[in-house]
Homo-oligomer: A and B are copies of this chain.
Amino acid sequence: MTRRPLLAVDWGTSSLRGAWLDESGQVLQERAFDRGILSVAAGQFPAVFDSCFGDWMSRPGALCLMSGMVGSQQGWQQAAYCPCPADLTLIAASLTWVRPGCLAIVPGLSCEHGAVPDVMRGEETQVLGAMQLLGLRDSLLVLPGTHSKWVRLRDAAIESFATCMTGEFYALLRQHSILARSLPADDGVLDRRVFCQGVEQALAGSSLLNTAFSTRTLALFERLKPEVLPSYLSGLVIGEELRAQSLPAGSSLVLVGSENLTQRYQCALELLGVSSQSVGSQAAWAGLWTISQTI
């Protein structure tokens, strides 16, 4: 077990966040930068890292663990995927050391569904954090986002997971489809009633290919006002994601993510009679801290 201060870094596609944790795992400071890996040229990762966190790393005994797309082909250094089932011990034993003893990248995970693989990078760390914060061993977790991850825990290991491109489908339909012509420029405030109407429509349907078109016809027939259409469409895509899971009423799951998103999923899950508890962005810090205590 390491008793060192930890620089925990969540370096994703579009953002870079870091936190400074003391020897007991307490978060003392946080920083965020618009320096997602897509904004960093090959070879420039060390310089960007040092400019953002150099002062923290120069402190005595500092250890840095990074998770997210920083370990992808397009990132600082490729960190091979760990195959599922994967637990804390396996993940902590599979770090890719960029600066030996000092700076490492957490591996992503892969799993197989028949002949089709699935992958995640960064979410495995949030799951480890949620497990630690909530004491989970056997649960279903959802990490909503551009690519939502549905994660099955069994005996304190990530047994399998599946990706839904929910956030990306919303953005595609919102920005690039024929529906964009009916929608206002700004998403505005969520209309909870209309959001639920979209969820119900998706749950009663069989595919977003069909239900998405109702956004257009409800606007065409003036049954929904333009300003609530983004709420309706959000309900449709999140409802579609939930429909596809066939969750039994009375079941429960854990939501991991920003409050803005987890609140929408909570609303939608209530319509299904599924209970949920939520963990926020501190899950990543807790996950990196838990790994640091295992190496």
Contacts and interface: CB of A to CB of B under 8 A. Distances in A.
Contacts of A115: 223
Contact of A209 (B178, B220, B223, B241): B241
Contacts of A208: 207-209
Nearest to A111: B217
Interface stretch (A94-102, A157-165, A259-267): A157-165
Interface string A173-210: 10111100000000000000000000001001111111
Contacts of A173: 172
Contact of A207 (B114, B119, B201, B243): B243
A168 B164 contact: no
**Total copies of the chain:** 2
A209 B172 contact: no
A10 interface: no
B168 A207 contact: no
A163 B218 CA distance: 13
A23 interface: no
A118 interface: yes
A206 B173 CA distance: 20
Nearest to A72: B220
A217 B117 contact: yes
B246 A206 contact: yes
Nearest to A213: B163
Given A172-B176, A176-B176, A118 B207 contact: no
A192 B102 CA distance: 51
Interface of A: 114-119, 147, 162-166, 168-169, 172-173, 175-178, 201, 204-210, 212-214, 217-218, 220-221, 223, 237, 240-241, 243-246
25 contacts: A114-B204, A115-B223, A116-B201, A116-B214, A116-B217, A117-B218, A117-B221, A118-B213, A118-B214, A118-B217, A119-B220, A162-B210, A164-B207, A164-B209, A165-B177, A165-B178, A169-B209, A172-B172, A172-B176, A206-B243, A206-B246, A207-B207, A209-B240, A209-B244, A210-B244
